[in-house]
Each structure stands twice: as structure tokens, then as C-alpha cells.
Structure 1
Amino acid sequence: MTFPITNIALVMAALGSGLLAGVYFAFSTFIMQAFARLPVDQGIAAMQSINTTIVRSPFIVLFLLTAALSVFIAVMAIVYWRGSISVLMLTGAALYLVASFLSTMVFNVPLNDALDKLDGRSVESAQVWSTYLADWTRWNHVRTAASLLGACAFVRALF
């Protein structure tokens, strides 16, 4: 059993992680593949547009809120240690914070920043785009799995 505020945080973090896993899953399974089928300049332009739009969308609120909730949950797990429940809480928080949030900041965002500086009509754009698609999608798979597993750990901690 955990405190009511912790239970609310667990529910919200589970929903946030689950929603983010769905977004990442869509990118991993069909969006990036669809962009790869476009002419290079169009694929790059589409991803550049997403990169600009996403930071001004509700996605970023959910992304940051879930991180904050994960920190809160981790602190509560440590301060009010409850054995296996705390382990599940820490597992969910670590999965989201390290494998989803941190990997985004360390890998996906720098790839996006580099892509944003690229002119899709330049000679080197085809090679950069090909590498970007592979690297970005690989790290997106990590975010997908981590967010989903984090959501599962948060839900399991509730029961």
C-alpha cells in the first residue's frame, strides 16, 4: 500500500508512459518508414516540420510531466521504502527517466538538431538522411520499449 498522492502519481505516470510508448511505437513501426519512402528532401522536410511542431505541442508537456512524476515516484519509493512495491516504483521511474527521457535528450534530440541544419537538396543530404533514419529509429525503439515497460511497472506497483 502506498500513499494516495503516490497512487495518483503512479496512475498519471503509467498513463503518460503508455501514451508516449504509443507515440514512439507509431514512429518506429510506420512513420519513419513512410518518411524513408519519400524523396530525400521531402522526408527531411517532413521530419524537420515534426521536430519544430512537437516542442510546441501537448506532447512536450506529457513528456516533461511524466519525467517529473517519475522523479517524485522514485523519491517516494526510497523515502517510504515498501519492499517489492518500492522496487517496482523505482523500476518504472528508472525505465522512463533513463531509457526514455535521457535517451531522448542524449541521442534523439542531437540527431534532430543536426537534421534541422541540413538542406534536403544538398549533395550530402541522402547519406545523412539514411544514417539519421537508422540511428534515430534504433533509439526510438529503446524509448518505445522503456516507456511501455515503465508503464507496466507503475501499474504493477499499484497492485
Structure 2
Amino acid sequence: MEAFLMTLAVITVGLMAGVYVAFSVIVMPALKQVDAENGATVMQIINRDIVSSVFMFLFWLSSLLSLFLLVVSQQWIVKGGCALYLVGMLGVTAVFNVPLNKQLEAVTPHTKLMVWRRYLTRWCWWNHCRTVTSAITLIVFAAQ
């Protein structure tokens, strides 16, 4: 059973890492090239749509699998990978990326430029953290 759950964790964590990589190397660099009005608007749409997409299923499934494996695995390297994922992906998302998304959603026409510039810098930094921690976790899980 644990082997099956580990395989499922490899798949879901790998998909999540891929999403974060895509945002780090494609989506956000593209949004940096457009004006604040359009960049912020597109990101607001992404943020609204992503919560009702398959992304959320993968987000929670990968997190729950990591939590379960953290508890049941006998291998410390797996426990470390799980802890890294839960802190570096789930924790970072909850503490940094989601609040930044909420700030972006609440902008007014007068504050959009200022908020967007700050958002780009901070959100991208934290997304890079999610990318790296998800990739490391994927490597740890895949090696098992």
C-alpha cells in the first residue's frame, strides 16, 4: 500500500512541480513584459480560475499524500521530503502566495501599478521557493 501511495505521490508532486516551473519560467516572465493593468488583470483571472481547476485537486492530494507518508514511512529521507513539501509548498502557498493573491484581487485602479510591481517581486520569489522544494521532494520520492 505504501508503495502505491509513494507512486501516487511521485505523480502528484511531479505535476505540482511542473506547474510551479511553468509559472516561474513562462507565465510570470511573460506577465512582466506587459503593462501593469493587463498583467494584473490576467493574474487576477488566473487566481480566480485556478481554485476551481484540477490544480486544487492535485494541490490537496499531493499535500495529503505527503502528510500520510510523513506519518507512516519508516525512511527518514522520505519523512524529510514530506516535511520539506508540506512547509515549502503547502506552507509557503498558505502564508505567502495566497495572501498576495488576495491583495492583488483587492486593488483599485489607483493602486494597481504599485501593488502589481510589489506582487511580481514577492509572488515570484515565493513561487521559486515552491518550485525548488517541490522539485527536491520529487527527486527524493522518485529515488525510493
> What's the TM-score, normalizing by structure 2?
0.96
1:150 aligned to which of 127, 130, 137? 137
Aligned-residue Cα RMSD (Å) equals: 1.0
Structure ID, larger Rg: 1
Partner of 2:107: 118
Partner of 2:8: 12
Partner of 1:58: 54
Q: Percent identity?
A: 38
Q: Deviations over 1:34-62 (max 9, x none)?
A: 11111211111100000000000000000
Q: Deviations over 1:3-22 (max 9, x none)?
A: xx111111111111111111
Gaps of 5+ in 1: none
1:47 aligns with 2:34: no
Q: Could you list the runs of 4 or more consecutive aligned residues of structure 1 that deviate by over 6 angstroms after TM superposition? A: none
Alpha-carbon distance between aligned partners in 2 of 1:154 and 1:33, rounded to the nearest angstrom: 29
* Aligned positions of 1:1-159 closer than 5 A: 5-77=1-73, 81=74, 86-119=75-108, 122-157=109-144
Alpha-carbon distance between aligned partners in 1 of 2:138 and 2:28, rounded to the nearest angstrom: 24
Q: CA shift at 1:105, angstroms? A: 0.5
Alpha-carbon distance between aligned partners in 1 of 2:71 and 2:63, rounded to the nearest angstrom: 13
Gaps of 5+ in 2: none
* Equivalenced residues, count: 144
8 Å CA contact retained: 1:88, 1:156: no
